[in-house]
Structure 1
Amino acid sequence: MIGIYDCFGYDVSFRERYKLIKNAGFDSVMLWWSDKFGRGGGYQEDVQYARDEGLFIENIHTPVHEQNYISLDNQDGKSVFVNYLQCVTDCHGYAIPTMVVHLPNDKYPLNELGMQRLKTIVEQAEEYDVNIALENLDNIQNLALVMDTIQSKNTGYCYDSCHHINYSPDCDLLERYGERLMAIHLQDNGGKRNQHQLPFDGSIDWKKVMKKVSLTGYKGATSLEPMNWDYKNISIQEFLSRAYQKAKKLYEMRSV
Structure 2
Amino acid sequence: MLSIFDWFGYRLTMEERYRLIKKAGFSGVMILWGHRLGRGMDFRLAPEIARDAGLFVENLHAPTELQHALWEEGLSGEEAAECYLSCLEDCKAAEVPAIVLHLPGDDFAPTEQGLKRLWRLVEQAERLEVNVALENLQNLKNLAWAFRQIDSPRLGLCYDCCHHYNDAPEEDLLGMYGARLMALHLHDNGGASRSCCIQHRLPFDGDVPWARVMQAIAATGYKGVTALEPMYWDYQELPPDVFLYRAFEKAKHLDSLRGR
After TM superposition, is the score higher than 0.5?
A: yes
TM-score range normalised by the length of the shorter chain: over 0.9
Residue 166 of structure 1: how far off its partner (Å): 1.0
CA deviation vs aligned residue, 1:112-131 (integer Å, no higher than 9, x gap): 00111000110000000000
After superposition, the C-alpha distances for 1:24-75 in whole angstroms (9 at most, x for unaligned) are: 0000000000111222101010111100011000000000011000111122
Instruction: Look up the match of 1:4.
Output: 4
Secondary structure at the counterpart of residue 208 of structure 1: helix
Match among 228, 232, 239 for residue 228 of structure 1: 232
Q: Which amino acid aligns with 2:239?
A: S
Alignment match, 1:54: 54
Distance 2:220 2:19 in 1: 32
How far apart, in 2, do the equivalents of 1:201 and 1:60 lie? 26
User: Could you tell me the TM-score, scaled by structure 2's length?
Assistant: 0.97
Measured in 1, the distance between the counterparts of 2:180 and 2:69 equals: 25
Count of residue pairs the alignment pairs up: 256
Counterpart AA for 1:58: E
Q: Distance in 2 between matches of 1:168 and 1:82?
A: 31
Partner of 2:163: 163
Residue 219 of structure 2 corresponds to 215
Query: In structure 2, what residue type is equivalent to 1:108?
Result: F
Q: Distance in 2 between matches of 1:39 and 1:229?
A: 17
- For 1:3 and 1:190, locate their aligned partners in 2 and report how far apart those are by CA, in whole Å: 22
Identity across the alignment (%): 48
Which structure 1 segments of 5+ residues have no match?
Answer: none
- The letter of the residue matching 1:157 is L
1: CA distance, partners of 2:27 / 2:128: 25
1:251 corresponds to? 255
Give per-residue Cα distances to partners, 1:152-195, cap 9 Å, x unaligned. 01000000011001111111001100011000000001112210
Equivalent residue, structure 2, for 1:148: 148
Letter in 1 for 2:60: I
Residue 31 of structure 2 corresponds to residue 31 of structure 1: yes
Paired with 1:170 and 1:75, the residues of 2 have a C-alpha distance of 37
Q: Give the whole-Å Cα distance in 2 for the aligned partners of 1:141 and 1:122.
A: 19
Deviating beyond 2 angstroms after TM superposition, the runs of 4 or more aligned structure 1 residues are none
